[in-house]
Amino acid sequence: MNGAESLVRTLIKNGVDICFANPGTSEMHFVAALDRVEGMRCVLGLFEGVVTGAADGYFRMKGAPACTLLHLGPGLANGLANLHNAKKASSGIVNIVGQHALHHIECNAPLTSDIEGLARPMSAWVRTSPDSRSVARDGAAAIAAAQSSPPQIATLILPADAAWSDADDVADVTETLQRPDYSSQAIESTAKILRGSGETLLLLAGSALTERGLALAAGIAGKTGCKVMGETFNARMARGRGRFFVDRIPYPVEQALSVLKPFRNIILVEANDPVAFFAYPDKPSFLKPEGCDVHRMTANGENSIAALEALASAVGARLRDAKPQQPMETGWPEGPLNHTSIAQAIAMAIPENAIVIDEAITTGRKFFPSTAFAAPHDWLQNMGGSIGFSTPVAIGAAVACPERKVICMVGDGSAMYTLQSLWTQAREGLNVLTIVFSNRMYQILRGEFDGVGAGEPGKKAMDMLSLDRPALDWVTLGRGMGVQGRAVTTADEFNKALAEAMAEQGPRLIDVQM
Amino acid sequence: MNGAESLVRTLIKNGVDICFANPGTSEMHFVAALDRVEGMRCVLGLFEGVVTGAADGYFRMKGAPACTLLHLGPGLANGLANLHNAKKASSGIVNIVGQHALHHIECNAPLTSDIEGLARPMSAWVRTSPDSRSVARDGAAAIAAAQSSPPQIATLILPADAAWSDADDVADVTETLQRPDYSSQAIESTAKILRGSGETLLLLAGSALTERGLALAAGIAGKTGCKVMGETFNARMARGRGRFFVDRIPYPVEQALSVLKPFRNIILVEANDPVAFFAYPDKPSFLKPEGCDVHRMTANGENSIAALEALASAVGARLRDAKPQQPMETGWPEGPLNHTSIAQAIAMAIPENAIVIDEAITTGRKFFPSTAFAAPHDWLQNMGGSIGFSTPVAIGAAVACPERKVICMVGDGSAMYTLQSLWTQAREGLNVLTIVFSNRMYQILRGEFDGVGAGEPGKKAMDMLSLDRPALDWVTLGRGMGVQGRAVTTADEFNKALAEAMAEQGPRLIDVQM
């Protein structure tokens, strides 16, 4: 057994049995080990942003880390943007990054770079394995780091000589996963606030947004009159009929300020102090109103479900205290495609237990309320703001949950960053429907241009915001990578394309031309 | 005038008048300034690897830096792989990377990351501008850094508040570009070696590979009997009829060892000590034979042309001492497409003064000798080994030299990393012919797998090397981004497609199906 094989066996033994990969020469011993060791599924991506985004999606749906296989510094670099998004979503990932044989580094061969330096900004744990007999132990430590509470990005750098030289054994993850509980004192003081006067917001994130967390929060709200919301973006939220609907803090700063204005207290359940996504001249960065106190009930990684149970008990709330939500009118839309009709069609089409990946940016701002009473589903958003997030995350979600339909909603600008995802979806026959919203524009920047005080874009500025010259043909792009699709220009066509796609297995694409 | 405008004006005033851009919110003031200031051409890329690769290609052909415009840490991260290639090619680039307003960083908003940490591994110069009135001065310092000898990657991080707040003025680059000359002692000792006995190799890189440098080297070789070669990969080499043909050190280690075996002395003219691209078990990393001495004549950034002139004078060589090269048989190929017929067709098709970008990987290994007697052209290669290099570099070369035909030769695996390049080529109407070699395989890894001692790939390993399930349809992918193309399967079809593409202006694609 060589070092690479000891690593593959260690990963599998400790439950890391999916590898999203884009390997090169220095990773060939790891690839070779896949033939000798049973139990590792390896999924090829043709660009590393696909690989790391897929690992993020896998973690969000499985709650367990996958590994990636990346080629030296530049391969890692190509995956960093989606590692950034994964880090901000608290996804656990074990990156395996190849390195030259250690004696070869002094040669400064073309692919030599500072891999640890590249890894650090997006990784909580970084280690270069010093030799083949350390690889298994280092692999186990990387898994332990990825499985921390909160979960982390762990990057293990594997020199080629450590991969090809002799190793003894596999290793076990010895650190027991200790999920920190919660602070009883925080529950007591939260209960006191909820029993007091003054408008209070329970701001939920992370595990508080599971079906159970939402139900508990709904009971607490029903009993105490507090309001419950989610952050602007959420890693995963349980939604749909029968589940408690929580709205999110709006993205535009003015709207966020207005929504938060009534509150005297904000209770953070894994959430962060509400902040603006970007800074704007003469607008605040912190969004809480003057005189409002912010209190932390649980931190990221703490047991928010147990904490919410304790809080419910402290305030005497029961699940049946939840006030029923007012269902919205539904029905398939008619007429032209616009943000409202698109939202309505998607709400109608979401099948039971779907996974919805939301990178619809401006087009998607109306999707959230409309889909609140769709069939029960999970809703995944981009926590790091680096676009090109959704199509790879859809791969990981589909690999984690092959029996569920994945609906990836993405703006055309965002979809271009990682369009190679479609090929992996075709190769693996993944049950992913990609809906591209083609407004032929970085539409969000059109708004932000004004928002930052830059006025009205002139011809040269508009050129940097528009994607209309030439128009991207998404059905053709999909076909070039093996994914069949359909372009739609009316609500009726969209309805039919959605119904057709939901009835089929395997990857499909709808190009919504706006 | 705000900070962003002072930066745009400073860039233009100091000759940096091309901006390859993929901006976001934090860069909107820079974009807005483009409307108010004449003289900056802005070229949009739909992925940052396109942007940074284009800046590399621009520098190689223009000898002057372009700037890039990138969105925060993740935008920079997406551009790092091609910055790595640019750094290894000694290309000068001024990266402008947006940052949150400085007061906003403590909010840890979704897009917050360690931008300086990300920049450092691929940048020689990194600075975050502290306020709006420092931006012009920092911009001038970045330009000076990019124009150093050797040229460098300079990354200027521009906080949004420094962009939008008031600024006074533009700045001048005050550092005078001092190209270090060369060491007379090194010339003397080189001349002594060349006059002595023992086989000697003059190993050229960088500016020594211009037409003038090659002619001088040819004269020296003719006079002294030394051999002249280039490194395995070269940033830019003048080639074709009437120019001195130098072969390169082969990529495979055994072949390189065999080629270098006769030499007792290796003289480095900007070149590096020959090393293996990767390490392999039981193969050396340093390639010089035992007993061979390596001597540095000029370092990267020194004036190798003046040094070669001095050397020619010292050994009494004149240009007419150059031995004429034996021209190769040429003619359009017939029959099936294989590495030889493809190379022959390309040699016939290269038009006068073309720019050839070579990322043909395994398919391209036969191209170099065959094209030695094509019409005069420049040949650009990947110096950093991170694939996805050529299609963006073609953009930059075409922007730098609009009157020249750019021929981008790329393997299908490599082309997938930055296929968004085709859209920019279509948008800008660039005179680029992309030739994709579709062997549906990371063919080089097939060889490396055996080379690193991993034996014969089994089914699971082969799955990580092959791109045949599904097949990528490059003509369709090109059409989806506005580039017309043609697939060819015989030499005759390839000949015709090449002739047709050479006769046309604007971007075209040929999918060579092997």
Rounded to the nearest integer, the mean pLDDT of chain A is: 96
Percentage of chain B surpassing pLDDT 70? 99
Distance between CA B85 and CA B81 in Å, rounded? 7
How many angstroms separate the CA of residue A83 from the nearest CA in chain B? 9
Please give the average per-residue pLDDT across B32-57, as a whole number: 97
pLDDT digits (tens, 9 = 90+) for A337-361: 999 999 999 999 999 999 999 999 8
Residue contact A459–B35, C-beta within 8 A: yes
Look at A107 and B161 and tell me if their CB atoms are within 8 Å. Answer: no
pLDDT at B514 exceeding the cut of 70: yes
Q: Nearest to residue B498, comparing CAs of B511, B507, B510?
A: B510
Residue A330 has pLDDT above 80, yes or no: no
- All residues of chain A having their beta carbon less than 8 Å from the beta carbon of residue B51 are none
Asked whether the CA dihedral B459, B464, B470, B474 is positive or negative, the reply is negative
Question: What is the model's pLDDT at position A193?
Answer: 98
Report chain B residues whose CB lies below 8 A from the CB of A111: 277-278, 384-386
A37 Cα to chain B: minimum distance (Å): 10
- Residue A344 to residues A369, A492, A510: CA-CA distances in angstroms? 10, 12, 16
Mean pLDDT score, A301-306: 96
A441: nearest CA partner in chain B: B46
Per the confidence metrics, is the pTM higher than 0.95?
yes
Spatial strand order in the sheet of B18-22:
B41-44, B18-22, B67-70, B93-99, B153-159, B125-128
Does B327 have pLDDT greater than 80?
no
Amino acid occupying residue B493: E
Question: Shortest CB distance from A477 goes to which of B47, B448, B480?
Answer: B480
**Residue contact A109–B276, C-beta within 8 A:** yes
ipTM field:
0.97
What tokens does B299 get?
């370092």
Q: Domain A3-164: which topology? A: Rossmann fold (3.40.50)
Q: What pLDDT, on a 0 to 100 scale, did the predictor assign at position B362?
A: 83
Predicted local distance difference test score (pLDDT) of residue B177: 65
> What pLDDT is recorded for position A177?
65
Asked whether the beta carbons of B7 and B132 are under 8 A apart, the reply is no
Contacts of B233 (CB under 8 A, 6+ apart): A110, B248, B381, B382, B383, B385
Residue corresponding to tokens 């020959």? B274
DSSP string over B239-285: ESTTS---EE--SSHHHHHHHHTT-SEEEEEBPPPPB-SS--TTS-S
Cα-based angle A126, B126, A114 (whole degrees, multiple of 5) = 30
Chain A residues inside the 8 Å CB shell of B416: 46-47, 420, 423
Residues of A whose CB is below 8 A from B104: 275-276, 278-279, 285
Q: Check pLDDT > 70 for residue B383.
A: yes
pLDDT tens digits for range B60-78: 999 999 999 999 999 999 9
Q: How far is A63 from chain B (nearest CA, A)?
A: 21
With beta carbons under 8 A apart, name residues in chain B contacting A286: 107
Contact A13, A175 (CB under 8 A): no
Q: Tell if the CB–CB gap between A452 and B84 is shorter than 8 Å.
A: no
Minimal Cβ distance to A276: which of B23, B34, B109: B109
Q: Tens of pLDDT along B293-304?
A: 999 999 999 999
Using alpha carbons, select from B281, B266, B271 the residue that is nearest to residue B452: B281
In this structure, what token pair is assigned to residue A43?
Answer: 């999924």
Has residue A303 got a pLDDT over 70?
Answer: yes
In the chain, the amino acid numbered B56 is D
Average pLDDT of the residues in A162-175: 93
CA distance B163 to B122: 24
A17/A25 Cα distance (integer angstroms): 22
Nearest to B384 among A44, A74, A449 (CB): A74
pLDDT value of position A299? 97
Residue A327 above 90 pLDDT? Answer: no
Interface probe with A: pick from B231, B452, B459, B475, most Cβ of A within 10 Å: B452
Kindly state the percentage of chain B with pLDDT values over 90.
Answer: 91
Residue with tokens 């990636």: A68
Q: What is the token pair recorded at A56?
A: 């993020």
pLDDT of residue A363: 83
pLDDT tens per residue across span A115-147: 999 999 999 999 999 999 999 999 999 999 999
Residues of B in contact with A77 (CB under 8 A): 77, 80-81, 84, 122, 386
- For A304, the token pair is 């928010």
Q: Do B23 and A272 touch (CB under 8 A)?
A: no
Exposed/middle/buried for residue B82 (C-beta within 10 Å: 0-12, 13-18, 19+)? buried
pLDDT tens per residue, range B415-454: 999 999 999 999 999 999 999 999 999 888 988 998 888 8
The predicted pLDDT at position B328 comes to 73
Mean pLDDT of A314-340: 89
- Give the confidence band of A295 by pLDDT, cuts at 50, 70, 90: very high
B286–A35 C-beta distance less than 8 A: no
CATH code of B184-321, in short, is 3.40.50.1220
Q: Which residues face A358 on adjacent strands?
A: A381, A409
Query: Is the CB of A164 less than 8 angstroms away from the CB of B382?
Result: no
CB B229 within 8 A of CB B248: yes
CB contact under 8 A, B474 and A451: no
**What does the pLDDT look like over A90-115, one tens digit per residue?**
999 999 999 999 999 999 999 999 99
CB A74 within 8 A of CB B81: yes
Max CA separation in chain B (angstroms): 69
CA distance A393 to A384: 13
Q: For residue A474, which residues of chain B lie inside 8 Å, CB to CB?
A: 480
* Closest residue in chain A to residue B466, using alpha carbons only: A44
Inter-chain residue contact A471 with B481, CB threshold 8 Å: no
C-alpha to C-alpha distances, A460 to B39, B75, B312, nearest whole angstrom: 11, 21, 51
Report H helices in A357-417.
367-370, 390-400, 412-417
State the span(s) of chain A assigned CATH 3.40.50.1220: 184-321
Cβ-defined contact of A423 to B73 (cutoff 8 Å):
no
Count of C-beta atoms within a 10 Å radius of residue A324: 8
Q: Which of A40, A47, A282, A513 should one mutate to test binding to chain B, selecting the residue with the greatest count of B CBs within 10 A?
A: A47
For B68, the 3-state DSSP assignment is strand
Q: Are strands A66-70 and B432-438 parallel, antiparallel or unpaired?
A: unpaired
Chain A residues within an 8 Å CB radius of B88: 110
Answer yes or no: is pLDDT of B277 > 80: yes
> Strand pairing of B377-381 and B237-239?
antiparallel
Q: Could you tell me where in chain A the CATH 3.40.50.970 domains are found?
A: 3-164, 339-513
The pLDDT, as a whole number, for residue A209 is 98
pLDDT at A333 over 80: yes
Interface contact A481-B474, CB threshold 8 A? no
Contact B448 A25 (CB under 8 A): yes
pLDDT score for A98: 98
CB contacts of A26 in chain B (<8 Å) are: 278
| Contact in structure between A289 and A257 (CB atoms under 8 Å) | yes
Report pLDDT for B330.
77
Superfamily of the domain at B339-513: Thiamin diphosphate (ThDP)-binding fold, Pyr/PP domains (3.40.50.970)
Rounded to whole angstroms, the Cα distance separating A508 from A475 reads: 10
Q: A448-463 burial, b if ≥16 CB within 10 A, otherwise e? A: bbebbebeebeebbbb
